Amino acid sequence: MPKKQDLKSILIIGSGPIIIGQACEFDYSGTQALRSLREDGIETILINSNPATIMTDPSMADHVYLLPLNTKSIVQILKEHPNIDAVLPTMGGQTALNLCIEADEKGIWKDFGVEIIGVDIDAINITEDREKFRELMLKIGIPMAPQATATSYLKGKEIAQEFGFPLVIRASFTLGGAGASFVHKEEDFDELLTRGLEISPIHEVMIDKALLGWKEYELELLRDKNDNVVIICSIENMDPMGIHTGDSITVAPAMTLSDRTFQKMRDMAIKMMRSIGDFAGGCNVQFAVSPDEKEEIIAIEINPRVSRSSALASKATGYPIAKIASKLAIGYTLDELDNQITKSTSALFEPTLDYVIVKIPRWNFDKFEGSNRELGLQMKSVGEVMGIGRSFQEALHKATQSLEIKRNGIGADGKGYKDYNQIIEKLQHASWDRVFAIYDAIQIGIPLSKIHAITKIDMWFLKQYEELYELEKEISTYNIDTLDKDLLLEAKQKGYGDRQIAHMLDCLESEVYKKREELKIKRVYKLVDTCAAEFKAQTPYYYSTFESDIKNSDGTLTVANESVVTDKKKVIVLGSGPNRIGQGIEFDYCCVHGVYAAKECGYETIMINCNPETVSTDFDTADKLYFEPVFWEHIYDIIKHEKPEGVIVQLGGQTALKLAEKLTKYGVKILGTSFEALDLAEDRGSFSTLLKDNNIPYPRFGVAETADEALALSDELDFPILVRPSYVLGGQGMKIVINKEELLEHVVDLLRKIPNNKLLLDHYLEGAIEAEADAICDGKNVYIIGIMEHIEPCGIHSGDSNATLPPFNLGELVLEQIREYTKTIALALETVGLINIQFAVKDDKVYIIEANPRASRTVPFIAKAYKEPYVNYATKVMLGEKKVTDFNFNPQLHGFAIKQPVFSFNKFPNVNKKLGPEMKSTGESILFIDSLRDDNFYDLYSRRKMYLSK
């Protein structure tokens, strides 16, 4: 029998601001849940304080509350909506679960007659309380590592004495492994035990005997009310136990597990899920397996909610776990639901993959100067990418090409490590670049046995690496003219990019591309279809690969391509790639809105992106999704295949923008602002000339390419001076220096890290107020969507500032200058679409800091505050479908909205937490206040100056 008839109105709790350990995978889950419930005619009420996500868009739920995630807000919502029947807390990560438990303990759900669906409180308590979980597992006969609970320092010391070292300390009720650590030596134990007890909200830690070197696996499960259970996906961590799964390179399906052990693991997972409570929904189970013939299985933990891995599993299999989990929570059974991909089979089936996916995390250690970069039990990555290929090698290469860290793939790009001691150290201390260091180790002749002994990575993976290097060695003996078709095809099938092959052959990338064209070695596109093509799939969700020719009956040669090109007019939207500091979920919000707006204008929409956590890569967001690296070679092949009217680059942040020059060079039309205008805004010299011609003030500046030029410039500019490299994101490498010694040190450091870059030196306007404006321009008319004033002084990166909309302290004279300059610059840059301009205000005079003719971090914030779909409007302007004057703008905001940055410094205890011109925040929340007399505003304003670091 389908859904519970008594559920008419459901509250969903979101996950709040993005932090390390809880990112936009929960916005993806929450968005799917909202859409899923609305399909059944259920009224949806959402609470989430994150303005940057598509989840909090008014179109997603019937009622969206951008309120702080606390029980006070919950009570307010329940009073306003007495008809709420149930709460679904499993879509918002640990934040939502913790809030649900707190509300339960306070009796709030009971008082308002609200049922908890999708999970039960007992299940949460059992899985989070490590002692209870251990007892239950032993009762049902599931093996666990030797472990014990400590609720005091003394008890912890006793356990350590009994177990011996190495040990693992895990704090109860925490997120992303917070408070978890390895203890190898007795002398480190006291400090790490104290930290774990302090971080746990119930001051409890579990101390385990460390399973170092064991292999780690995850299974994603779904269960319905009739106790039908399906295993959606098996995921293997390439990194062994000891590195948090969020920081591990993971592969699906599992590669090195025997079928016998997999069946045993399945049975254990199902038994575990059934034992923790009688609920319908999703579940993630983690296991450790001994790296010997015995393959002993030990349970690590179970999460009775959708997780980071379930977003990955959804994208890997095409099975929308959160969507189905929401249906199960309202009473459907799996056999009553459609398989979303085939539309002709039921959801009561287990996906089969005829491809491999590899997930690689994306870190931002460069933003946390002095941080410990070694990976361990506490998650440190800020985002992730996923590569899909026909083999592990192809998927691995595609994932590394997606990372945007100036690498062209695994090795073969001249950027590897050569020093023996450095490589050994990289293998011993896993960090962001170990995935590359393994290749470098093989390249300099370190035997696989030694690499395995150090890293404990399974020999199967290491042999895959070795095969890649053997192929590189073989290709390097040829040149572009002598390389034969079979060898070139093999390199492409194993994921090598044209740039890497050009590096091996010592020629140009374009020559390799030309050779491929001549030999008819072309990318083909395959469907992600959940059922290994056993049933016909209806879903336009593709990845690329290379295949050998098939001989037809008439003797002609063809290659099977599953992406059928229609004759409709098309538009491609380039996504923003992996989340990182400086470019987060707000650009995904813009991409999704861009896709929706282009659909409204009658275009077939095509999305290219490689981030598994987001809504833009949902299979039903665009008409066609290419889950591919946002990397030139992949994009150009898709463009040639689809032949779109043009490409939208200004919604995908710096990732998409960086490709504008190449697209223009290859004759691909950029929809909206042209590459020339985008480049003019980035080139400080040309931009300043534009400002000078229009009588717009800007801080005195100069451009230097060497340390000597920088020192000479400093005499003209006067200290303090703001130093920054050009063409970077999130203020990377920016610093305020106050004397020649500091200047020299920073310039030498920058030129070492980013060689051949132009450095910009600005006289820093000390004590200035910072403001910014976002606007839409159609080339003739300009509409300013919002002007914000920063609470912190000028010099703190705009992404780390509290931005207040509308301004609270700028006089009419200053606002008039901001309006006039915004319009003048937007028109002078021939902007078509969005533009963001940043200002410094000193002594009532407005100076221009910079202009970015693209979507900015603040656009979603303004759209949510004013309740207007600005990205939709801007996209229609870019497509030439509408003029700015065609829209009836009607912003609605009572009082003020404040964009508040959120930091993840707790993951890096020894890092300098001072703020400056380089961005460090990982997410943001929105706060609405009625007046400036609000205590929250007073508190922010009183602390505004304490952060500036020089």
SS3 per-residue string spanning 510-552: HHHHHHHHHCCCCCEEEECCCECCCCCCCCCEEEEECCCCEEC
Backbone angles phi, psi at 166, to 5 degrees: -75, 155
Element (H, E) at 780: none
pLDDT tens string 254-312: 999 999 999 999 999 999 999 998 888 889 999 999 999 899 999 998 988 888 888 99
- Find residue 877's DSSP bridge partners: none
Selection from 589, 556, 554, 553 nearest residue 573 by Cα = 589
- Would residue 65 be called left, alpha or beta, if left means φ above 0 and alpha means ψ between -120 and 50 degrees? beta
Complete DSSP assignment for 152-220: SHHHHHHHHHHH-SSEEEEETT-STTTT-EEE-SHHHHHHHHHHHHHHSTT--EEEEE--TT-EEEEEE
What is the chain's Cα-based Rg?
28
Task: Report the pLDDT value the prediction gives residue 531, as an integer from 0 to 100.
Answer: 65
The distance of Cα 183 from the centroid of its chain, to the nearest Å, equals 30
Is the link from the previous residue into 806 a cis peptide, with omega within 30 of 0? yes
Phi/psi of residue 76, nearest 5 degrees:
-55, -45
- Tokens representing 563? 């992406």
Sign of CA dihedral 212, 214, 217, 223: negative
Beta bridge partners of 216: 237, 288
CB 666, CB 815: distance < 8 Å: no
**Contact call for residues 276 and 123 (beta carbons, < 8 A):** yes
Q: With 0-12 CB in 10 A as exposed, 13-18 as middle and 19+ as buried, what is 909?
A: exposed
Low-confidence ranges of the chain (pLDDT < 50): 1, 948-950
Bridge pairing between strands 570-574 and 646-648: parallel
Instruction: Count CB-CB contacts under 10 A for residue 438.
Output: 27
Q: What DSSP state is assigned to residue 422?
A: H
Tell me how far CA of residue 332 lies from CA of 327, 338, 520, 686, in angstroms.
6, 11, 50, 61
Give residue 208's pLDDT. Answer: 84
Indicate if the alpha-carbon torsion angle 708, 713, 716, 719 is positive or negative: negative
d(CA 926, CA 66): 7
What is the spatial distance between Cα 638 and Cα 917, in angstroms, rounded to a whole number?
38
Hunting for tokens 């979101």 — which residue is that?
14
Per the CB < 8 A criterion, the answer to whether 853 and 673 are in contact is yes
Q: Please enumerate, as own/partner, the contacts of 798-801 that have beta carbons within 8 Å and a separation of 24 or more.
A: 798/770, 798/772, 798/838, 798/857, 798/858, 799/581, 799/582, 799/730, 799/731, 799/857, 799/901, 799/919, 799/921, 800/901, 800/915, 800/919, 800/920, 800/921, 800/947, 801/770, 801/901
CA distance 614 to 626: 14
Q: ∠ CA(101), CA(105), CA(110), 5° rounding?
A: 100
Burial 694-725 (b: 16+ CB within 10 A, else e): eebebbebbbbeebeebeebbeebeebbbbbb
Residue 534: predicted pLDDT: 56
CA angle at 500 for the pair 498 and 506, rounded to the nearest 5°: 95
* CA 948 to each of CA 442, 761, 789, 921: distance values in angstroms, whole numbers, following the listed order: 45, 18, 17, 14
- Number of other CB atoms surrounding residue 338 within 10 Å: 13
Decide if 42 contacts 8 (C-beta within 8 A).
yes
- Rounded Cα distance between 579 and 308, Å, is 14
pLDDT 10s digits, 691-723:
999 999 998 888 888 888 888 888 888 889 888
Query: Side by side, which strands form the sheet with 803-805?
Result: 845-852, 832-842, 769-778, 782-793, 803-805, 896-902, 923-929
Which H or E run includes 714? helix 707-717
Spell out the residues 6+ positions from residue 925 whose beta carbon is closer than 8 angstroms to its own.
16, 17, 49, 50, 51, 68, 900, 902
Name the pTM for this structure.
Answer: 0.93
pLDDT at 948: 46
